[in-house]
């Protein structure tokens, strides 16, 4: 069974207290539905930008937003695809986090499938050896475990995560930190390991009461402290997994990630606090009823009031047929109301509950 070696130092304890203080403060802040949707979208964009930037993506934060909206960047097609896939994976993590079940290996494999292929399909672990090389020199900097050991190592990691969360003896930020580190250490895929490791940590946090309403981005801290990020992931006396990495003390790993979490949470607390000072109202319970696509539409309705099916399709980057089916379901649930059924390109407005909350913030 996976049993990481670490100790809770005074610095880690300080970070944990700061994390908890920020978490409680943000949960209690009254943030209106429209602002919350906007803050969540900003957090997703930053997470997508910075997590892919760590892997060498060349799109700026503004370009990431444009790419997600459908803008093309000739010569950087791979970067476009990468950010779109990561954004979809983030949406999937958010949806999965709301489920009461424990984390399964298949959950992680689905996240990887979305990261790498943009498809909600579990991807099998690697069937051969992979290595991490220095981009400049080509020198091997890490030799992960053999493919034959990956399945057992991943099974142990998932069991450890669920066991620790269930027992509740270890602070969740520490569980998330070690989950991130151990996944990267196992390196179960040929590509996409870093992005999947970061999403796994987010999933652990969100499922255990540390979602902070989905308005923070840990990836931004990692990208801005990149040397520290790589140093935290490189532990042990050798670059070979079997020569010390597997049994290394990961105290400094936990320290780095908890410090980053504390800093990110503090920034979100300050940002949300400013919003409250401007008279924001809490509509979190109402927002929980919405799926990620519905939340993406809130800004569109806030700006326009009445929206056509074609505009919804363009905003969500879906086909007219797919949107027609969604709109039927949303009308039945009360999220949307048909504004003019006689028009060929039918138009909609938000249901009364949502309209009174969202449009009042305009």
Cα-Cα-Cα-Cα dihedral sign, residues 6, 7, 11, 13 = positive
Q: Contacts for 303-306 with beta carbons within 8 Å, 24 or more apart?
A: 305/349, 305/359, 306/339, 306/347, 306/348, 306/349
What is the structure's pLDDT at 344? 60
Using CA atoms, how far residue 327 sits from 308, 313, 334, 351, in Å, is: 10, 10, 10, 12
Asked if residue 278 has pLDDT above 70, the reply is: no
Give the rounded percent of residues in the chain with a pLDDT score beyond 90.
51
CA nearest 86: which of 108, 62, 113, 125? 113
Q: Which residue in the block uniquely carries the two structure tokens 């996944």?
A: 183
CATH of the structural domain 289-361, one choice from 3.30.1460.30, 1.10.10.10, 1.10.4080.10, 1.10.357.10: 1.10.10.10
**212 or 261, greater pLDDT:** 261
**100 or 263, greater pLDDT:** 263
Mean pLDDT of 285-294: 72
Rounded CA-CA distance 46/264 in Å is: 12
Angle between helices 77-97 and 61-68 (to 10 degrees): 80
If one looks up domain 10-277 in CATH, what number appears? 1.10.3290.10
Mean pLDDT of 177-201: 96
User: pLDDT band for position 215 (50/70/90)?
Assistant: confident
User: pLDDT band for position 12 (50/70/90)?
Assistant: very high
Asked if residue 277 has pLDDT above 70, the reply is: no
Name the DSSP class of 307: E
Whether pTM exceeds 0.85: no
Give the rounded percent of residues in the chain with a pLDDT score beyond 70.
91
In CATH terms, are 10-277 and 289-361 the same topology?
Answer: no
What is the structure's pLDDT at 18? 95
**136 or 227, greater pLDDT:** 227
Q: Under a CB-based contact definition with an 8 Å cutoff, are residues 31 and 275 in contact?
A: yes
Using CA atoms, how far residue 154 sits from 1, 189, 259, 282, 349, in Å, is: 11, 11, 26, 40, 47
Task: Spell out where the chain has E strands.
Answer: 132-133, 140-142, 307-308, 336-340, 347-350
Which residues partner with 143 through β-bridges?
240
Length of the chain: 362
**216 or 85, greater pLDDT:** 85
Mean pLDDT of 241-249: 88
Query: What is the tens place of the pLDDT at every residue in 16-42?
Result: 999 999 998 887 777 766 677 778 888
What is the structure's pLDDT at 38? 76
Q: Under a CB-based contact definition with an 8 Å cutoff, are residues 353 and 286 in contact?
A: yes
Q: Where are the domains of the chain?
A: 10-277, 289-361
> What is the average pLDDT value for the chain, to the nearest integer?
87
* Host H or E run for residue 205: helix 193-207
User: pLDDT band for position 51 (50/70/90)?
Assistant: very high
**263 or 319, greater pLDDT:** 263
Q: Which residue in the block uniquely carries the two structure tokens 């700006």?
A: 303
User: pLDDT band for position 359 (50/70/90)?
Assistant: very low
Rounded CA-CA distance 225/223 in Å is: 5
């Amino acid at each position: 069974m996976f049993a990481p070696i670490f100790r809770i130092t005074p610095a880690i304890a300080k970070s944990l207290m700061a994390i908890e203080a920020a978490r409680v403060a943000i949960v209690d802040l009254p943030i209106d539905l429209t602002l919350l949707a906007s803050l969540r979208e900003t957090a997703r964009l930053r997470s997508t930008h910075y997590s892919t930037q760590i892997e060498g993506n060349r799109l700026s934060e503004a370009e990431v937003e444009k790419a997600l909206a459908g803008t093309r960047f000739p010569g950087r097609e791979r970067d476009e695809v990468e950010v779109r896939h990561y954004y979809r994976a983030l949406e999937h993590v958010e949806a999965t986090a709301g489920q009461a079940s424990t984390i399964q290996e298949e959950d992680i494999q689905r996240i990887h499938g979305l990261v790498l292929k943009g498809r909600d399909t579990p991807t099998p672990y690697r069937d051969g050896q992979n290595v991490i090389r220095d981009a400049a020199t080509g020198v091997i900097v890490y030799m992960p475990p053999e493919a034959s050991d990956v399945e057992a190592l991943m099974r142990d990691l998932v069991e450890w995560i669920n066991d620790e969360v269930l027992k509740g003896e270890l602070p969740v930020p520490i569980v998330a930190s070690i989950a991130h580190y151990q996944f990267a250490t196992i390196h179960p895929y040929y590509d996409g390991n870093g992005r999947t490791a970061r999403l796994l940590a987010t999933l652990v946090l969100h499922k255990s009461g540390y979602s902070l309403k989905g308005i923070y981005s840990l990836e931004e801290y990692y990208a801005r402290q990149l040397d520290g990020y790589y140093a935290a992931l490189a532990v042990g006396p050798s670059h070979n997994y079997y020569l010390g990495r597997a049994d290394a003390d990961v105290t400094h790993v936990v320290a780095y990630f908890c410090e980053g979490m504390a800093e990110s949470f503090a920034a979100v607390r300050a940002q949300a606090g400013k919003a409250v000072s401007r008279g924001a109202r809490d509509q979190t319970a109402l927002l929980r009823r919405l799926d990620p696509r519905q939340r993406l539409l809130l800004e569109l309705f806030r700006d326009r009031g009445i929206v056509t099916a074609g505009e919804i399709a363009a905003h969500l980057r879906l086909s007219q047929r797919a949107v027609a089916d969604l709109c039927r379901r949303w009308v039945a649930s009360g999220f949307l109301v048909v504004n003019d059924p006689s028009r060929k390109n039918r138009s909609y407005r938000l249901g009364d509950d949502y309209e009174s909350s969202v449009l009042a913030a305009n």
